[in-house]
């Protein structure tokens, strides 16, 4: 059966040791007037300013975690606002991002091409797509064409999803379980 094409960025699934994901996340600051939108499921990286921002494809900057929404005072309405995504160029001094930052969190993500069983344990880059402004969900996918064993790849594939609608290894757009490979809070090791 063909896989269902659904892009959703990185979605928390469980912990690396098999225990369930319990919605653990932490607060991080985001710079006012940052021109790049950040969507729920996007990977975020640290900045020297003490804030976080969206990671781009092929970045080797260590990853803090995965963006899960934000809170800020809307500059137009002056009302406290919660959103799944942060629109680019939002001018507010109180932008707080909620980030799933546990280095042992396992995420599910959609592959942008056919993902072979032999690709398990390799490192991968991500696609550089934005997201849906209505749902706030990221369109980032696992970039199957950009893989290897270097420790600077953003994610490492650890298994194929058990989702019956998205685990066909003979067609594109299957879901893959990944961990953050180049995590800011944990030194990433090259594959042996």
Share of the chain above pLDDT 90, in %: 59
**36-55 per-position pLDDT tens digit:** 999 999 999 998 888 999 98
- Please state the rounded mean pLDDT for residues 60-71: 92
Identify the band that residue 190 occupies on the pLDDT scale cut at 50, 70 and 90: very low
- Please state the rounded mean pLDDT for residues 54-68: 88
**127-136 per-position pLDDT tens digit:** 888 899 999 9
Mean pLDDT of the chain: 88
CA–CA distance, 86 with 70 (Å, rounded to integer): 7
User: Range with the lowest mean pLDDT among 1-5, 66-70, 128-132?
Assistant: 1-5
**91-121 per-position pLDDT tens digit:** 999 999 999 999 999 999 999 998 888 999 9
Identify the band that residue 140 occupies on the pLDDT scale cut at 50, 70 and 90: very high
What does pTM read for this prediction?
A: 0.90
**153-186 per-position pLDDT tens digit:** 889 999 988 877 666 677 778 889 999 988 898 8
Provide the pLDDT for residue 89.
92
Three-state SS across 137-188?
EECCCEEEEEEECCCCCCEEEEEECCCCCCCCCCCCCCEEEEEECCECCCCC
Provide the pLDDT for residue 166.
65
- In this structure, the number of other CB atoms found within 10 A of the CB of residue 184 comes to 18
- Please state the rounded mean pLDDT for residues 63-73: 95
Question: Would the pLDDT of 31 be above 50?
Answer: yes
Burial (CB < 10 A; 0-12, 13-18, 19+), residue 150, is middle
Question: Would the pLDDT of 149 be above 90?
Answer: no
Q: Is the dihedral of CA 68, 73, 74, 80 positive or negative?
A: positive
Question: b/e map of 38-76 (b: 16 or more CB within 10 Å)?
Answer: bbbbbbbbbeeeebbbbbbeebebbbbbbbbbbbbeeee
């Amino acid at each position: 059966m063909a896989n269902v094409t659904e892009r959703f960025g990185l979605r928390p699934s469980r912990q690396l040791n098999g225990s369930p994901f319990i919605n653990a996340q932490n607060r991080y600051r985001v710079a006012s007037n940052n021109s790049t939108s950040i969507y729920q499921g996007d990977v975020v990286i640290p900045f020297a300013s003490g804030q976080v921002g969206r990671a781009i494809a092929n970045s080797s900057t260590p990853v803090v975690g995965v963006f899960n929404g934000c809170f800020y005072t809307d500059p137009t309405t002056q009302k406290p606002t919660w959103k799944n995504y942060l629109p680019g160029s939002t001018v507010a001094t109180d932008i707080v991002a909620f980030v799933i930052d546990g280095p042992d969190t396992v995420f599910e993500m959609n592959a942008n091409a056919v993902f072979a069983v032999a690709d398990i344990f390799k490192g991968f880059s991500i696609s550089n797509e934005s997201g849906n402004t209505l749902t706030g969900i990221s369109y980032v996918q696992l970039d199957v064409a950009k893989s290897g064993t270097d420790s600077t790849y953003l994610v490492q594939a650890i298994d194929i999803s058990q989702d019956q609608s998205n685990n066909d290894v003979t067609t594109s757009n299957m879901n893959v379980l990944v961990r953050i490979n180049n995590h800011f809070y944990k030194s990433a090791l090259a594959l042996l």
